[in-house]
Amino acid sequence: MAKKISLWRQDSTRETVAMALREDLGGQDITSMLTVPPSLKARARLLARQAGVAAGLPLLELVYAGLDPKARVKLKVKEGRAFPEGAVLAEVEGLARSLLAGERVALNFLQRLCGIATLTRAYVDAVAFSRARILDTRKTTPGLRALEKYAVACGGGVNHRATLAEAVLIKDNHIQAAGGLMRAVALARQYTQGSLPIEVEAEDLRQVQEALDAQAEIILLDNMSPGLMKKAVELASGRAVTEASGGITLQTVADAARSGVDRISVGALTHSAPALDLSLEFAKA
């Protein structure tokens, strides 16, 4: 399983966590300040209220380090591992005020990321009989792309481009603006000189043939039926990587895989993944 280890050590991730804490605290947790003794210590367990796949658990360390440098976090489940309902995913010990102040931020991150990883695993399992790989898209929450794509990788998916600078993907609007598919590919190749693969969106078999004639490395089969995708794969005959995209659901992903495509990109992995039901249970240390 490919994933970006040490993601939480990156400055951008640290700032994301710090920003979330500032947003939630608003300066101070007034309820805990008024009701909880400042020196009281506590421990908490992160519990799974439903089965899922672990993603982002080390973020607990960043959340609580920003509130209590002496807080201790013990992770119980490895990233990318499936866990059953009722599993203890992590334990935290530290000042009770700090544990309470970080509870919502920690859960917001982990419920979101575990939800993405769990949904991704469902898609990956649904096409396990085939060679097709499940890819994410750029349909992510602004500011959380790195974390959400990390969660996709934890679920067994493959990260597509994270930024517009990472790959060439010529879509219908680019084709229209450039004056045609062949010209769009020629312009892109003139600049990249083979340094980046060129992917072209095709809506029908005519465009698939055009993309092949232009020697595009990847052809995105946009909103095609499984039958049409199968014909496109046969037409490509290994001359280009084929990618299914557009409206793919858990109910239809297996049909797309049966067409023989190499990749299936699914925006729902990040824009529609339900949060996994997790909770923090507190007790005095």
Q: Which of 4, 45, 104, 138 is catalytic?
A: 104
Q: Is 189 exposed, middle or buried (0-12, 13-18, 19+ CB in 10 A)?
A: middle
Amino acid at 208: V
Q: How far is CA 177 from CA 40, 51, 100, 208, 245, in A?
A: 64, 47, 54, 19, 22
Q: How far is CA 236 from the centre of its chain?
A: 29
Q: Which of 72, 78, 171, 239 is catalytic?
A: 171
CA angle 228, 230, 233 (to 5 degrees): 110
Q: Which of 222, 255, 258, 277 is catalytic?
A: 222
Beta-sheet pairing, 133-135 with 72-75: unpaired
Region class of 180: left (phi > 0), else alpha (psi between -120 and 50), else beta: left
Yes or no: say if 222 and 264 are a contact pair by the CB < 8 Å rule: no
**222 given a catalytic annotation:** yes
Q: Which of 43, 45, 139, 189 is catalytic?
A: 139
**284 given a catalytic annotation:** no
Q: Which of 79, 103, 201, 243 is catalytic?
A: 201
**139 given a catalytic annotation:** yes
Q: How far is CA 99 from the centre of its chain?
A: 27
- Residues tagged active-site: 104, 139, 171, 201, 222
